[in-house]
Structure 1
Amino acid sequence: MADTDDDHIYLSLAEEHGDGDARWAFGTGFEDPLHGVETAVPAGVDAVRLAADCAALADDALVGAQRLAEWCTRAPELEEEVALANIGLDLLGQARLLYTRAGQADGSGRGEDAFAYFRDADAFRSLRLAELPNGDFAFSVVRLLWLSSWRLALFTRLAHGAPDPVLAAVAEKGVKELTYHRQYAADWVVRLGDGTEESHRRTVAALAGIAPYTGELFTGAPVCGVAPADLRDEVTGVVRQVCAAAGLELPEAEPLPGSGRDGDRTDHLAPLLAELQSVARAHPEGVW
């Protein structure tokens, strides 16, 4: 096992964003992150592009939340089930706010349910990495490390520079949540990579399996002024730092062609949505 100080290099990640203990799920607090925020789309902001960006980020969060929910009753320990469920609820909260903003910005007035439950897979613009099945626990925490590191880097920039005040407010709230998500994932990657021979093997396999899907994190059009390519050094640097603490190497891989943002889907999204949307579609006017 590594020295104790080395074993917790990842803890420094949380310090970059201040409140490393902000880990509670959407809805458990009493502060509305959008209270007092002007909801009119600012002059000069492309409302159609803003709506598309919000919907795509919400798709990532919704699909990610559903994958994390699948760990309920299956996680290695009860404590991890609770942690993963709370992370999923954080992402679900982000999705709700972003879908609502998308419906406001595009002028359709669509609510969060319309985006989440009544679109087919080909209308989603989620990252393909989020769509992949959970695999084993090592795969899920390595994926969470990549996605939370990427989303945190993006949301940090949006919180301070998004031209839309609503998106900036959603991002500011998300930064606190994503800081914990990244810390949690880093913790587990270090424990597994620097653990038993079997856990090390599985973590190596997870890194290799995920590597081809990471390219699309850093390609495509800017998100409200943030170019995905500008996130590459920060995000890969974080993942590399965690891997070093875990005694792992970050593998190189040829990126898969296409992008989820352009409508390229995996075969795994449609079955996931069928389960997610089944009750809402069976009872479209249902109220509980």
Structure 2
Amino acid sequence: MPTSLPLSASGSVYLTDGGLETTLIFLDGLALPDFASFPLLSSEDGKAHLDRYFRPYLDTAERVGSGFVIDTVTWRANPDWGARLGCDPWALAEVNRRAVSYAARVGASRPGLETVVNGVVGPRGDGYVVGETMSSDEAASYHSLQANAFAAAGAQLMSAVTMTYAEEAIGVVEAATAAGVPVAVSFTVETDGRLPSGQGLGAAIEQVDRETESVAAYFMVNCAHPTHFASVLADGLANGEPWVQRVQAIRANSSTMSHAELDAADGLDRGDVQGLADHYAQLQQILPHLRVVGGCCGTDHEHIAAIADAVTA
């Protein structure tokens, strides 16, 4: 059976933030080499930027009476990307522990808000394309550094975000399980609703569950617009496919552009704020167990405020 979420048993929706890196780069004017935000933790000025980033999201959660999942800023804090940014394994483990401590401090700043500290693991590769692949065993070994750091620092949840193929996601689940941390898995999809690997979303979820004894707390879709995957979910629901019930979180892009188009874009596409919120309301009808909602590339606190109003109405 799936591990229970470290969230309230009330079944209420939890919010999380939007597109951290796109907000910091395009709206705040920060330089984030390799799209990495974890270096901000090394300075007081960087942490102040993060404080300002999280503040309006926490305000929205308090306003609508939801809980809040606080992601660590560690999407790029894995061995390959860390090495590109000058971190050896010891330093990288410390970065991940520090990120958990920072997220916990953010949560403690709102004592009346129920929060969950979520250690974020990104893909070894780019996130938009598959590139070189690993076996699930290789992926478990690769992602164990972050899993062990999160466990040591007291993270309540670990999430594999923007996974492009099933074997890497399986490895993350295995690494988290070995470290004793509940884990969630998020796949990204192309405009046809299939993973960048070409595998169908349902098939990928079924493969992860089959090879990990369904230990993942839940699955999520991120870094794609709802128009890219809503019909896949709806068709799965209509056909009575059990994997749909495992999708309990959504972090969509604001833009309807493909990954390739976004990669080539010079500016930020914020899309249609209310239109995106309306899509979330429709997804809530397809996904009866939807528990966590937030945003991905191009979304900011205005998108999440509109989404919160749509799904908590």
TM-score over 0.5 for the pair: no
Whichever structure has more strand as a proportion of its residues is 2
For the pair shown, the structure with the greater C-alpha radius of gyration is 1
TM-score, structure 2 as length reference: 0.29
Indicate the structure whose relative CO is greater, using CA pairs within 8 Å and at least 6 residues apart: 1
**TM-score of the two chains, using structure 1 as the length reference:** 0.31
